[in-house]
Structure formats: structure tokens, C-alpha cells
A and B are shown apart, each in its own frame.
Chain A
Amino acid sequence: MKRKINLKNYPNKSGHFDQFGGVYVSETLIHPLKELFSAYKKYATSASFKKILNNELKDYVGRPTPIYYAESLSKSLGKSHIYLKREDLNHTGAHKINNALGQALLAKKMGKTRIIAETGAGQHGVATATACARLNLKCVVYMGEQDIKRQSVNVYRMKLLGAEVISVDSGTKTLKDALNEALRDWVTNVDDTHYIIGSVAGPHPYPMIVRDFQSVIGHEARNQFKKDYNCLPDYLVACVGGGSNAIGLFHPFLNDKVKIIGVEAGGSGIKTGKHAAPLSAGSPGVLHGNRTYIMEDENGQIQDTHSISAGLDYPGVGPEHSWLKDLKRVEYTSVTDDEALDAFFTLTQKEGIIPALETAHALAYSFQLAKKQKNKKILLNLSGRGDKDIDTIAKLTNIKL
């Protein structure tokens, strides 16, 4: 493959990854987004900011997270080796805290006193509420009414942490509608409020900022793997909803000779139309401030999504993923609800690690890969722990808690 461009140098100045990304917002948000970009360039790239953030990540979050070789799991599958980047061991139980803490620190630097966030599974909401408690910032989290029902434990956690959780009952009552409502709040309260988007979606500079804060995953993993195994992995695998944990792992490896695979939520199966896999079965369009692959009908209306996992239940995806798909640098595929559920039980029983249902999608694909390949090293981003999904799992298996 001919590759002269440095894949790590994007987005360009206007916030585009070639035809993807950009700033599709109403005029009122243009200036705040430019302010955010300037503040990010000024503070977040400075040595003093990095030092503060790194200390927080070390002492408060518990980084670096280990890479764990899942030996008995690997042996049960065949002759390949599965390694887990244990983002589930972070404080609050998922990778989301990396970005929430980084952006909350940035908001402080910008003199903002109020933080808003959207959340699907509740992991980003919990991470943001945590960062706000830690840094003494007011916190409001928007969450779809349907997700509030699915993730009651996380709702309670956010409230305990002092956040106000606002139920969103418009549209499909899930993540995309929570994002709409957060954007409306931001446009109204833009003077004192910073919006911490939880994924690599949204208008520029969000996809870049969130990616950069999440890239700590990939940087660590790359160094750890080199040090412990004296090589790079053959495969990287991560689940993709908006795609923040995936890009966090992938980005530092983009110029390496490593095969990279993103796994979307196949729901009841791509053919049934009931899924949340825009990269596998969508088309380029404009949603939430950027141009990217989306799920839409023939009239350009955004379609309902279906996934067992609230965190993947989103009709769009970060624009950088769309770009990497079209460049064929990353391969995107999907697994169904049932496959993810099987993988959830397998990891729990073989390794004593309960994964989040989002992460279970990446696991399901890795298991298929490990069965097919021989002597390959597969590094998977274990993006979150599954405690939050216990209710869902119990219900699905007819167990009353």
C-alpha cells in the first residue's frame, strides 16, 4: 500500500479528516468552539498542564493500566494469544475518565464553572461527575430516558457524586438525543459552561481533543508491549460506538505495521436492520456537528439504533474512524448481541474478569480471530468493567436479583 501521508497529522486546520469531520453547528457555537481550540492548544500542550494531568492519571486514576495475558482463555481458543489492556481497572471502571479528567482540567484553566455532559451507558456521565467532584465543578449530565432505565446503578452513582442527571425524553430517548439536549444547553449557557463530549464525535475540535486525551491508552500499550514482549502486537481490537476507546488504542499505532480492527454493535444482525453499525452498514452524512458515516433513511432522517449495549447505541461514529475506514487503514466489522453476550460469559468464567457489554463486542470478535489465526498476538482494549450491566444480564437470563 502506498502511504506517504502521516496518519497522525490529522485533522487539518479546518478540522477535517479529508471529507469527514468539520464544524456543522449553528453560528452561536462557532466562537465557543474556536475558543476551546485555542485554549486546548495553549494549555493542554504545555509542559505544566501535562505534568498536572499525568499526576492525576497516576495517583487518582491509577495509571498505567496493566496489559494482562489471558493465557487460559487463549489456550481454550487455539494457538493465538490474547492480551488485555486493562482500562477496566481505571478509577470509575472504564477508559472514560482519561478524557473527562483532561477536559475538566482544561475547563478549569478556561475559567468555566459549570460542566455538562451526555451519557449513554452512564460510564462517561460517571467519569465526568467524578472529575467534577474532584475539581469542584458544577456538573449536569443529560441521559436518555431509556438509558436511565437500563443503567440505574450509574444514575445513582452520578447523583451520589453530586451531579444533576436530566432525563431526555425527546426522539429515541437514548444517547443521540442526550447529545442533542447537551448541545442545546451549551448554546444557552456558553459563557460559564464547558461541554465535555464523551466520545470522538461532535464538531471540531472535539474529535481531536477526546482522541488526544484517550491516546494515553495506546501510548502506554505500545511501550508496555515493546518492553514486555520485545515486539508490537499483530492485531489491535476494540469496540466502536462513537469510538473513543478504539481511537485511544489505535492512534499511536497508525503508522506501525499492525492490523487494526474496530468492532461495531451488530444488534440482532446487520441484515435485520436492527443494529448500531454505521461503518458496516451506513453512509456518509452530517450528524452532531460533523460529517461521518451515519445510519439514515432514504430521506436523510437519522434511524433508530438497536444494541444490547447502551454505550454502543449510537447512529453515528467519530469522523476519524470514517476516514480510517475509507483509507482502509482500519477494518470495521460487527458482532451481534448474542455473540457479545457469549463473550461476556466466556471472559467472566475463564479469566474472572467481568467485562462491560460494550467491551464484550471486541472480545467476541477477538475470540473468532484467535480461533482462525495461529501464533498471533492480539491486543484488545478491555475498555470497561461490567458491574453496570449486571441488571441487564440478569434480566436476559431470567434471574431475579
Chain B
Amino acid sequence: MTSRIPHIFESNKLKNKKTFISYLVCGDPSKDFTLSAMHTMSKSGVDIIELGIPFTDPIADGPVIQKSIDRSLKNKTSLRDVISLVKDFRKDNKDTAVVLMGYMNPVHKMGIVKFTKQINDSGIDGVLIVDSPPEESEALNKHLKKYKKSHIYLASPTTTDQRMKSISKKSSGYIYYVTIKGITGSKLSDVSSIRENVNKIKEYSNYNLPVAVGFGIKDSNSARKMAKFSDGIIIGSSIVELIHKHSKNKKTMNSKLSSYLSSISKAI
């Protein structure tokens, strides 16, 4: 099945809404919790779920997500588990897009052909591999295209104009604009330069590719600010923190998560 992502951005645009993307690490505190949290996300206004594949050496992540990944790895969560969890999710949800997000080595180990076939068989819509820029992911890009899945690339404050042009051509689904120089969970920097770069990327893609912004968005206030000029916002560390805080009680976790996400959803 073709990626749901382009349609999601389009229909939100018609409704004058911004797309809400949320991240969580698969398998922390358990696969059961993750599945439950994903359903809560879709019921609370989230359009796209970025599901984190745990990896032992997450070089782009700050302490909150690192620790979550460590807990997930203690549960022995593998890439295969992540994919099969999405299959389970699809039994009750056909609308919310799911993007697998992680690092190259688990994908490399599984093999790109097998990986992309399983992506297709499991109702996954896209892939974002943090440590594989366009230069190192031609094969992955080719195979994802074959299945009409989204291949999301990052752009950052250090990305040159020329590169932004080339990334906006290679990316599909959306471009993930990293708002800061730094790791996940850091603080937001000045809004005007973020706005400037987001507008540039939109221009380079002839306004054909949505730009979502992530890193540093924690609450309705920062979400609202970023939503003003982007097509979507991404929240990760705050959600991971919230799930961990209520990891003893699934009911509480779901209700706290729901009210947090609803407040963001309303703000954008």
C-alpha cells in the first residue's frame, strides 16, 4: 500500500490544520505499552507516529531517549519486533501513518531488500534513518520508492542551501527539519532563523513537499510557534518522558498521554 503521508498533509491543509507527528521508542516499558500508546496517540490528534527502533549506539539522541532505548534493549526489542508491532497496530487502525525511525545498523543487518519488503507487508508508511544521509542510502531509497513508501530525510541549521535543494528532491513524505544544532531533547533556539530555513526548503521543493519541524518542542506554546510557519510539528523526548513516568500503570499513562497530546493538537 502507498504511503499515507502525502494524503495526510494534504487533507490537513484543506482543513487549515497542521500535521501532528509524535515519537516514541518501541518496547519501553513493553511492547504492550507501546501498542496501547500508539492507539492513544491516534485518538488524541496525532497524524503520524514515528516509532523508534532501539539501537545500542544512538549518537543523535539526548539522555531521555538514550535511556528509553536502553530500557527497550533490556527487553530485547528487535527490529523484527518493531515491524510486527505495527502489524498488530494495523488490525485496529488503518488511518494513522507510521514511520520507522532509527539507525542504520539494525536495517543493514536485516538487509535492505528484506527490510523494505517487510515495511510494505506490515502497513508501515515511511522510514527515517538518522545516520544515513542521501549519499549513503541510495539502495534504501530505491527500494522504498519501489513500494511507494516515504523516505524522510533530515535538514538542519548547518545544511547548506545547495544541499537543501538536493535533499528536498530526494526526500519524500516530508522533510524533517532539525531546529537546532544538537541532540534530541535540547532547548529551542531563535525562531526567526528556523522560519527562514523552513521557507527556503519549501521554496526549493516548489511547495510540493511538506516540512515538519522537530527537536526542542515541548508544550503547546512552542508547538504553536513552530506550527505557524511549518507544515507539521514533531514531539519526541517529552512523550518518551511521560510514558516512562507512568510506566507502572497503563491506564494512567494513557490518560496523561491523551490529555498532553490533545492540548498540543488543539494548539496547532
- Point out residues on A near B: beta carbons under 8 Å: 14, 22-32, 170-171, 176-177, 180, 183-184, 187-191, 285-289, 291, 294, 296, 298-302
Report chain A residues within 8 Å CB of B178.
Answer: 26-28
Q: Does B106 make an interface contact (CB < 8 A)?
A: yes
- Residues of B near A286 (CB, < 8 A) are 103-105, 108, 131-132
Q: How many Å lie between the Cα of A14 and that of B106 in the bound state?
A: 23
Within 8 A of A (CB), among B40-60: 54-60
User: Once the chains are docked, how many angstroms separate the CA of A253 from the CA of B24?
Assistant: 50
- Interface residues in B78-95 by Cβ distance below 8 A to A read 78-80
The 11 sampled A-B contact pairs (Cβ below 8 Å) are: A23-B135, A24-B132, A26-B154, A27-B153, A27-B158, A180-B59, A187-B60, A188-B182, A189-B181, A190-B158, A296-B109
Residues of chain B lying within 8 A (CB to CB) of residue A31: 158-160, 163
Q: How many residues of B contact A (CB 8 A)?
A: 44
CB-based contact B181/A288 at 8 Å: no
**B135/A14 in contact, CB under 8 A:** yes
The residues of A that contact B60 with a CB separation of less than 8 Å are 26, 28, 184, 187
Q: Which of B79, B110, B132, B183 contacts A188 (CB 8 A)?
A: B183
Known: A177-B57, A300-B55. 15 other contacts (CB 8 A): A22-B135, A22-B136, A24-B133, A29-B158, A31-B158, A171-B57, A180-B58, A184-B62, A188-B186, A189-B181, A286-B105, A296-B109, A299-B79, A300-B79, A301-B105
Whether the Cβ atoms of A187 and B181 lie closer than 8 Å is yes
| B222 is an interface residue with CB less than 8 A from chain A | no
Is the Cβ of A176 less than 8 Å from the Cβ of B135? Answer: no
| A302 contact set on B, CB distance < 8 A | 56-57, 105
Dominant SS among interface residues on chain A: mixed
B188 part of interface (Cβ distance < 8 Å): no
By a CB distance below 8 angstroms, the chain A residues around B157 are 28
Interface digits, B149-180 against A, CB 8 Å rule (1 contact, 0 not)? Answer: 00001111111100100010000000000100
Whether A28 pairs with B156 at a CB distance below 8 angstroms is yes
B64 within 8 A of partner (CB): no
Closest to A283 in B: B109
Flag whether B130 is at the interface (Cβ < 8 A).
yes
When distances are taken between beta carbons in the complex, the residues of chain B under 8 Å from A187 are 60, 181-183
Interface centre among B60, B79, B110 (most CB of A within 10 A): B60
Chain A residue nearest to B160 in the complex (CB): A31
C-alpha spacing A32/B133, complex, angstroms:
14
Chain A nearest CB from B200 CB (Å) reads 15
How many Å from the CB of B225 to the closest CB on chain A?
21
CA distance A301 to B77 in the complex (A): 10
Is B35 part of the contact surface with A, judged by Cβ < 8 Å? no
User: Known contacts being A27-B153, A183-B59, A190-B181, is A300 close to B135, with CB within 8 Å?
Assistant: no
State which of A30, A170, A289 has its C-beta within 8 Å of the C-beta of B159: A30
Closest 4 CB pairs of A and B: A300-B109, A300-B106, A27-B154, A299-B78
**Interface status of B73 (Cβ within 8 A of chain A):** yes
B window 98-156: CB within 8 A of A: 103-110, 130-133, 135-136, 153-156
- In the assembled complex, B68 has its CB within 8 A of some CB on chain A: no
Are A28 and B158 also in contact (CB < 8 A) when A188-B181, A190-B181 are? yes
| Residues A32 and B158 in contact in the complex (CB < 8 Å), given A187-B183, A188-B182, A302-B105 | yes
CB distance B158 to A296 under 8 Å?
no
CA distance A14 to B138 in the complex (A): 13
Q: Is there contact, CB below 8 Å, between B136 and A23?
A: yes
Report the nearest A residue to B158, measured CB to CB: A31
Q: How far is the CA of A183 from the CA of B133 in the complex (A)?
A: 16
Most A CB contacts (10 A, CB to CB) among B57, B66, B104, B156 go to B57
Asked if B105 contacts A298 (CB within 8 A), the reply is no
**Distance to closest chain A CB from B164 (angstroms):** 10
Neighbouring A residues of B160 by C-beta, 8 Å:
31
Determine if A180 and B57 form an interchain contact, defined as CB atoms under 8 angstroms apart: yes
